Amino acid sequence: MTVAPMTGPTSRRGVRRFHVGAPPTRLYPVRVELLERDREVDAVRAAIDQAAAGQGSGVAVTGEPGAGKSALLAAARAAAPGPRFLIGGCDPLLTPRPLGPFRDIAAATGMGPLLPGAGRPHGAADGEHGEELALAGVCERIYEALRDEPTVLVVEDLHWVDAASVEVLRFLARRVDAMSLALLVSYRDDEIGPAHSARPLLGDFARLAGLRTLGLAPLSLDAVRIVVAGTRLEPRRVHELTGGNPFFVTEIAKDPDRGLPTSVRDAVLARTAEVTPDDIEVLQMVAAAPDRLDDRVLPALGVDLPTLRRLDATGLLSRARGGLVFRHELARRAVESTIPPGGAPRLHARLLAALERNEPCDPAVLTHHAVAARDADRAGAYATAAAREAIQAGSHSEAATFFATALDHLWAAPALDRANLLHSLAVEQYMTSRLTEAIATVSATFPLRQHAGDQAGLAAAYDTCAVFEYYQGRRRHAQAHAERAAALSTGPGLERSHAQAHTTLGYLAYMRCDVGVAHRHLRGAIEEADRNGQAELAQRGRILRASTSLLAGDADARTPLADDIERARAHGWDELASTGYSAIANLDVEQRRYREAEHVLDESLPFTVERDIPICRHWQTAVRARLHLARGRWSAALEDAEQVLEERGMPLATLWPLLVTALVPLRRGADVPLADSLVALDIAWELAERLDEPPRRLAVLGALAERMWLTEQPDDRVVRAAAEGDAVGAAGTAWAGGDLAVWLARLGLGARASGEVAPPFRLSLAGEHVDAASWWRRAGEPFAEAMALCDCPDPAQRARGVELLDQLGATGTADRQRAIARRDGITQLPRRPRTSTRANPAGLTNRQLDVAKLVARGLTNAEIATRLYISVKTADHHVSAVLTKLGLPTRRAVALRAEELGLA
């Protein structure tokens, strides 16, 4: 996009030159922000044209303040009329409005309020009566509103976005190529750090097909020369002073006779030189209302039509979303800086009083003004209401910030009120995986409740803290808090707290395989909860009771456990249902019911996303990493493991991801230092020691034993475990203990069997290696099948085991087996292959696995595209990649071998 009506050849930087001749006496006004933006405008225009043609895509535009992001998007819109345009903005409030940009879009499309009861400052109870609209529902409503009609959706200033809006944008971004949508966003890259809520969305723009990011560079000296031509301004000096920032260049060129200002502030304020003091105060009020100065409050503030005409003449303001806004954030900041010391509270108090007269009220905006007005009571009340609304929207980060704001201002509130706010804040910190902060916050309620004599509240606080401490990986702290909660909840009137405390004690016993203790606590807790009318708590107890029975080896308990989970879902107890899914999936993988585990996770992981339960998503992704490892899907296993380890979540979930990141490179013989695998295993060992739970400790010992076998480097922990007979013992350890016992046998260490081991390990320890391999083949664990064959004395079976390891891509393990076989005098072994030749999903990513499963079910590419919210073209690419990685010629071949490949 360049300046009309200029003509002539274009330089390599995209600045159009003039024909030779006398220069024009005045080139301004020009669209400075669009100089040297031809490529970027064309890219945005292309996205809009594609949306009009039915193909979705997305473009993120980034640059420093004043780089011309808004001008670029506006120019592309003007040049490509046709599709519907919807614009939502993010505002520089102290804490963002939950779903702020999508509220604007909902209003523009007539969707109605996204959040029932939004705008009622004291409507916190709405969510408690089941009227809340889950974030998943918001995503679906927005998707339905945008899906059928060609649309350009613009969301500007992502650096001010709230977490819930990010989730909606990610929901759309992952489906954009199946929609007629151009998704356009803008942000300042220097204001989005690694922990910013928008970072995952920007990661999507970096890696997902159909999405791209455009960076806006400063103007060149040539462009500045065009802008200031015909003035006394010296181009090189202007370029040096402005750094090529289009907004700054524009402000200087607007009034060249004033000389060169030394800052953006001076350039902006030059536009107000002729404005009266009263009008300056109106500009300052607009600057103090960063979302907008709502049209409805103008009469209350004494802003009449003549005033608006005078302000319009400054060129600083424009209209957006039913109010006055500055044309640029830099201009707003410049005017805001003119508010005299002590003047800001007065301006914000006026704005607050005017806004309170209008319905609906936005508690986030009212909080902003109440805080700035130094009105502690109002700030506390509005912040609490804003937090409740944020919870309703699924913006748990913002909810935590609002609760913290309320606490900062309600410092003189009664002790119990502060304790309740602190407890609410702790829950939101937990929901956003800030466990350390959540523990500190809920612990701060202990003295407040003690001082107030609130024994029931104190017991509840200790119980909550017990759960947080356990997820943090500190079992001893968790146990002590849970026992304290139980001790505090004895006596008349404390029955509800008593049932809760014993449910938590039952949970901790279940996780430690103390089956008898768990059943004792849960039996009493369920009976008491039923008597007290605590239906959800009673259902939690039943889920834990069935999980405990399944852990102990009662396979018949799986059916009632699945039924209990469905009952929780039917009642809308989403967190409880998700917790049940986590338990059944984990036990299915532990007890090698891989197909059942896969079906559970296929349902439960989307459920955690739809219901916005990140803690459960974190755990279940870790379980899936372990499942992929067992199934031989090592690329997908590493993908899940890295996600769990990179995300902020609960340390409890990281144990198996740590084992995956250590074992896969070792088995593959990857060119990585052996010390790297040991670091991951050491971290896992330290976590297992803190948890002091037999299944987790045995799992790490098994991994350490495998590493010892593979590297021939002794490990005292493994040797000590063999001597102490740690392989088997407690209920619930038949699988983890059996796995360790087999690895110890391969090391020649042996182990004293003090309890039962699971069937395939029992076969191996009895020397029935072929039968053990057959068991693993039926279960669908190819690595265990190959290792069982390699344990056979029969040379032919050992050669077959090495061949399977090669085909699986376990080059490091296969080479170790070759060395052992040659030492035993076996020379007829398969040659080390250059590449994998066997159809195997080891290299498939999670997305490719999704596609492969649908191919195995006979779906066409168009049906796959519809099911996965992708375009048919993208589905074509995925299917081709799947066939290549599996080494299979046709889709029919995938269907025929689905069972063998674990895709059925």
How do residues 223-281 score in pLDDT, each as one tens digit? 889 888 888 888 898 888 778 888 888 878 877 777 677 777 787 787 787 788 888 99
Instruction: Taking residues 287-294, report their average pLDDT.
Output: 85
Q: Which span out of 5-19, 104-118, 287-301, 364-378 was modeled with the highest average pLDDT?
A: 364-378
- For residues 453-460, give the mean pLDDT: 95
The encoded tokens of residue 408 equal 């900062």
Lowest mean pLDDT among 59-63, 353-357, 380-384, 392-396: 392-396
CA angle 108, 114, 116 (to 5 degrees): 130
Mean pLDDT, rounded, of the chain: 85
Least confident range from 174-178, 487-491, 652-656, 788-792: namely 174-178
Instruction: Tell me the C-alpha distance between 53 and 417, whole Å.
Output: 57
Q: What's residue 127's pLDDT?
A: 37
The residue among 57 and 2 whose pLDDT is bigger is 57
Cα–Cα distance, 654 to 618 (Å, whole number): 9
Check pLDDT > 70 for residue 647.
yes
Nearest-angstrom CA–CA distance, 162 and 181 = 22
Taking a C-beta distance cutoff of 8 angstroms, is the pair 506, 495 a contact?
A: no
Cα distance between residue 272 and residue 279, in whole Å: 9
| Among 342, 401, 388, residue whose Cα is nearest residue 93 | 401
Residues linked to residue 152 through DSSP beta bridges, in sequence order: 85, 182
Position 724 scores a pLDDT of: 80
By residue count, the chain amounts to 904
User: What are the tokens at 360?
Assistant: 């609906």
Angle at 93 between CA 90 and CA 95, to 5 degrees: 100
User: With 90 as the cut, is the pLDDT of residue 77 above it?
Assistant: no
Q: What values do phi and psi take at 87, rounded to 5?
A: -125, 130
pLDDT value, residue 228: 85
Q: What is the pLDDT of residue 254?
A: 78
Q: Starting at the edge strand that comes first in sequence, how are the strands of the sheet with 323-326 ordered?
A: 293-294, 323-326, 317-319
Q: pTM to 2 decimals?
A: 0.77
pLDDT tens-place string over residues 607-627: 887 777 788 899 999 999 999
Q: Is the peptide bond before 5 cis (omega within 30 degrees of 0)?
A: yes
Q: Cα(177)–Cα(145) distance, rounded to whole angstroms?
A: 16
Token pair recorded at residue 621: 């992704």
Task: Give the dihedral of Cα atoms 842, 705, 644, 207; nearest 10 deg.
Answer: -30
Per-residue confidence band for 499, with pLDDT thresholds at 50, 70 and 90: very high
Q: Indicate whether 750 pLDDT > 80.
A: no
* 151: phi then psi, degrees, rounded to nearest 5: -140, 145
When pLDDT is averaged across residues 276-302 and rounded to a whole number, the result is: 88
Q: What is the pLDDT of residue 476?
A: 95
Q: Report d(CA 272, CA 316) in Å as an integer.
A: 9
Encoding tokens for residue 825? 């005098």
- The answer for residues whose C-beta is within 8 angstroms of residue 600's C-beta and 6 or more apart is 581, 584, 585, 588
- Residue that the structure tokens 């076998």 belong to: 709
Phi, psi (rounded to 5 degrees) for 590: -60, -40
* pLDDT(15) > 60: no
Q: How far apart, in whole angstroms, are the C-alpha atoms of residue 89 and residue 860? A: 40
Output the pLDDT for position 23.
Answer: 32
Q: Which residues contact 161 (CB under 8 A, 6 or more apart)?
A: 90, 96, 100, 101, 155, 169, 197, 198
Residue 735 has pLDDT above 70, yes or no: yes
> Which stretches of 394-534 are DSSP H helices?
396-409, 415-431, 435-443, 445-452, 455-471, 475-488, 495-511, 515-532
Residues 286-308, buried b or exposed e (16+ Cβ, 10 A)? Answer: bbbbbbbbbeebbeebebeeebb
Mean pLDDT, residues 20-32 taken together = 40
Residues 6+ apart with CB under 8 A from 156: 69, 70, 73, 87, 88, 89, 90, 185, 186
Distances, alpha carbon 399 to alpha carbons 157, 273, 408, 424, 713, in Å? 21, 42, 14, 9, 51
Q: Which residues 6+ apart lie within 8 Å of 103 measured at CB?
A: 88, 97, 113, 114, 118
Strand ordering across the sheet containing 151-156: 84-89, 151-156, 181-187, 57-62, 211-215
Report the pLDDT averaged over residues 312-320.
83
Q: CB 468: neighbour CB atoms within 10 A?
A: 26
Identify the pLDDT of residue 529. 96
State the pLDDT at residue 791. 96
Given this model, what pLDDT does residue 611 score?
A: 73
pLDDT at 437 > cutoff 50: yes
- Residue pair 658/683 in contact by the 8 Å Cβ criterion: yes
Token pair, residue 403, equals: 């609760």
Say if CB 165 and CB 100 are below 8 A apart.
Answer: yes
Res 4: pLDDT: 30
Tens of pLDDT, residues 708-717: 999 999 999 9
pLDDT grade for 730, boundaries at 50, 70 and 90: low
pLDDT above 70 coverage of the chain, percent: 90
Instruction: Give me the pLDDT at residue 115, please.
Output: 64
Q: Nearest Cα to 624, choosing from 598, 587, 663, 655?
A: 598
**Alpha carbon distance 474, 481 (integer Å):** 11
Q: Tally Cβ neighbours within 10 Å of residue 234.
A: 14
pLDDT at residue 839 greater than cutoff 90: no
Q: What are phi and psi of 900, to 5 degrees?
A: -60, -35
Identify the CA nearest to 417 among candidates 383, 448, 461, 386: 448
Q: Is the pLDDT of residue 138 over 60?
A: yes
Question: CA 174 to CA 49: how far, in whole Å?
Answer: 20
**Mean pLDDT (whole number) for 340-361:** 89
Model confidence pLDDT, tens digit, residues 751-785: 555 468 999 999 999 999 999 999 999 999 999 99
Q: What is the pLDDT of residue 661?
A: 95
What is d(CA 155, CA 749) in angstroms, rounded to the nearest whole number?
63
Among residues 65, 83, 68, the alpha carbon closest in space to that of 38 is found at 68
CA separation for the pair 409, 332 (Å, rounded): 27
With vertex at residue 293, the alpha carbon angle to CA 290 and CA 297, rounded to the nearest 5 degrees, is 145
pLDDT of residue 729: 57
State the pLDDT at residue 628. 95
- pLDDT value at position 348? 92
pLDDT grade for 519, boundaries at 50, 70 and 90: very high
Confidence of residue 902 (pLDDT cuts 50, 70, 90): confident
